[in-house]
Amino acid sequence: MSSFILPQSHKLTKRRVIEMVATYATVENPQESFELGDLLMSYLEQLDIEYVFGIPGGSIEPLYNALARSEQRNGPRSITARHETGAAFMAEGYTRATGKIGVCCATTGPGATNLITGVSSAYENQIPMLVITAQTAISNFGKGSVQESSCTGLNTLGMFQHCTRYNTLVSHADQFEHKLVSAVMTAYQFPQGPVHLSIPIDIMRELAHTSSPNYDLAMLTQQPTLVDENATKKLGELIEQADQPIFVLGADCASAAGTILELAIQLKALIVTTPEGRGFISPHHPLYRGTIGIAGHITANNLLSDKKTDLVIAIGTKLGEGSTGGWDPTTIMSDRLVHIESDAGRLIRSPMAKLHIRGNLNSVFNQLLSSMTNSDNEQATHDYTQKWTQQLSDITHTKQQVQFNFKINNQEKCFSEATPIKPQRLMYGLTEQLPPNTLYVADSGNSMMWAIHYLHPYDRRLAGQRTNACSLLHVSVEFGSMGWAIGTSIGMALARKNQPVVCITGDGSHLMSGQEITVAVQEQLPLIYIILNDSAFGIVRHGQQLGNAEPIAFNLPVIDFSLYAQSIGANGYIINSPADLKALDFKKILAQKGPTILDVRIDREEVSPIADRIKVLHSSHEKLEL
């Protein structure tokens, strides 16, 4: 090995020696270089993270150098977004599909500020996410460096304070490891969400003080299985006393969904979902009665308001406006409510509840099952499950037309052969033609409204063990950023390469974030993008009509998105009619390398189920007027 000789004529600081050693090691002995970025990659490997989503830039170059070294050894690799917001959406999708923390990064200044919308989405959706942003050299703070965003400049750290669970500047190299570990652990604690490390370029270039992780981060982030045994026992008593208990499945029911459904089958208790919990249960499940809240089904709301319903058990839901019909006291927000959460902070939203339970959701329902199950119940449940599982299998294999156990608005339009194609018919046709395990991601606006009410992905299971990523339909009701689904679907497709992923978006959302589809082209992902093309911000147009507002600012130009698809190297089709949809060979489309864009010219006069949302907006206005 070559010797390293310090210049005798120059007085060196300790930091300068470290920098020179690092430079020497990188150039002549790359195996001896282990910068902070390399330590980060080691921790990501420990967590089995495959991708870092972001856009490179000058100040974040050391992190990308570490990513390059990581890729060479088949470790985590970079996915280059087209806009930093898209990078954060992709990281959210990756987490939704895997349960693992999504990682995104950006350079200083505008790179960091561009991340904020996507990070805010993860914050509102309570998605664990690790956000890394750069800073100019710490020695140059306050000097007016290009894109300076330190506390003496634009102060991006201050901006992230309001949309992260942990937010810090790494000002010294020896802070990095424990701040990284603290951040990731915080991301998984309740309430879950994004965490942010801001790292100056000169700090990121420094050698790590360890050549391997000192913490077992995978173990430290495991979720506890704690359960409030007394409260759970009390719930068991309430269930036994109830004549008509109802289960309400929310967004966080993922791993517990199978256990909840097993208990519901044993009790013959009916089930409804919030919009975010929509994808956890088969629409053909004999106990399912639809979705409550925004774009929901009247049968679900009627069931909750029925005087015979004497116990409403809401599980894993934040009880926000979108999932409660504007906090409707006649349905879910009543004294019949039992609210069960992993996150104690959510329980403050249900002061009227007769019982609050905090604990691991799967543990709560496993305890309930064990206390209520006997041999007779077990056999009856087994027979019931066998019978209906076979029926669901027959339905999904033969694509037979069936009636659901919940009421759909204007259901006849689901079978309409009219041209232009009706959105209701489109949603029904997709689940007829696509595989049962297809993952759907519905964008904000009309796309989400149509999907919640009319899109019913098949799931052959009545009960049984789920994973942290079992939902077949993903929506973002809380933050509702346009274009969210375009990036999120990419993160999901990268994580689930053997499972079809379909993104349902609008022409307005595509014009805002459609450039991210070129990432799917570059990564050769067989994603299907369905663009509801009505040459308008459809939800704005219809919202103005329903609310008697002035018709303004909703028109968009007529665009041929199939030509756009061709221009970026994707496949493109125009769908005008149900016949055009039926003619598509989805098996062939999903076998291709690269995405497909379906430019669906929908009937723009059809109004999505937004009436409840309009009522909430106007009731708020009336209260302000008073």
Strand order in the sheet with 311-315: 288-291, 270-273, 245-249, 311-315, 337-341, 355-358
pLDDT band at 14 (very low <50, low <70, confident <90, very high): very low
How far, in Å, CA of 43 to CA of 33, rounded? 16
Give pLDDT, residue 612. 72
pLDDT tens for 483-495 read: 999 999 999 999 9
Give pLDDT, residue 382. 65
Please write down the long-range contacts of 216-224, taking CB distance under 8 Å and 24 or more positions apart: 216/46, 217/43, 217/46, 217/47, 217/181, 217/184, 217/185, 218/46, 218/47, 218/48, 220/181, 220/184, 220/185, 221/47, 221/101, 221/184, 221/185, 221/188, 223/188, 223/342, 223/360, 224/360
- Is pLDDT above 90 for 621? no
Q: List Cβ neighbours of 494 (8 Å cut-off, separation of 6 or more).
A: 50, 51, 79, 90, 94, 523, 525
Give SS3 for 291: strand
Q: Could you give phi then psi for residue 227, rounded to 5 degrees? A: -150, 140
Q: Minimal CA–CA distance to 62: which of 204, 208, 210? A: 204
How far, in Å, CA of 191 to CA of 186, rounded? 9
pLDDT band at 16 (very low <50, low <70, confident <90, very high): very low
Tell me how crowded residue 25 is: count the other CB atoms within 10 A of its CB: 17
Output 55 or 615, whichever has higher pLDDT: 55
Pair of tokens at residue 540 = 């704005």
Give per-residue burial for 350-389: e unless 16+ CB within 10 Å, then b.
Answer: beebebbbbbbbbbbbbbbbeeeeeeeeeeebeebbeebb
Give pLDDT, residue 10. 38
pLDDT tens for 467-511 read: 666 789 999 998 989 999 999 999 999 999 999 999 999 999 999
**Which region holds residue 506: left if phi is over 0, alpha if psi is between -120 and 50, else beta?**
beta
Give pLDDT, residue 142. 75
pLDDT band at 143 (very low <50, low <70, confident <90, very high): confident
Q: Could you give phi then psi for residue 89, rounded to 5 degrees? A: -60, -40
Average pLDDT, integer, range 382-393: 66
Give pLDDT, residue 553. 93
What pTM was estimated for this model as a whole? 0.90
- Let me know if 340 is exposed, middle or buried by CB neighbors in 10 A (0-12, 13-18, 19+): buried
Average pLDDT, integer, range 221-228: 85
pLDDT band at 145 (very low <50, low <70, confident <90, very high): confident
Average pLDDT, integer, range 329-356: 93
Write down the H helix ranges in 405-560: 423-433, 446-454, 484-495, 507-513, 517-522, 538-546
Give the rounded distance of the alpha carbon of 549 from its chain centre.
Answer: 33
- Is pLDDT above 60 for 399? no
Mean pLDDT taken over the chain:
88
Output 25 or 124, whichever has higher pLDDT: 124
Give pLDDT, residue 8. 36
Write down the H helix ranges in 537-600: 538-546, 561-568, 578-582, 586-591
DSSP state of 282: -
- Is pLDDT above 90 for 55? yes
Asked which of 47-51, 513-517, 606-610 is least confident by mean pLDDT, the reply is 606-610
Give the rounded distance of the alpha carbon of 112 from its chain centre.
Answer: 21
- Is pLDDT above 90 for 105? yes
Output 393 or 268, whichever has higher pLDDT: 268
- DSSP strand pairing (528-533 vs 473-474): unpaired
How far, in Å, CA of 565 to CA of 596, rounded? 7
- Is pLDDT above 50 for 336? yes
Asked which of 380-384, 412-416, 428-432, 536-540 is least confident by mean pLDDT, the reply is 380-384
Average pLDDT, integer, range 54-58: 96
pLDDT tens for 532-589 read: 999 998 888 888 888 888 999 989 999 999 999 999 999 999 999 999 999 999 999 9
Give pLDDT, residue 447. 96
Output 480 or 65, whichever has higher pLDDT: 65
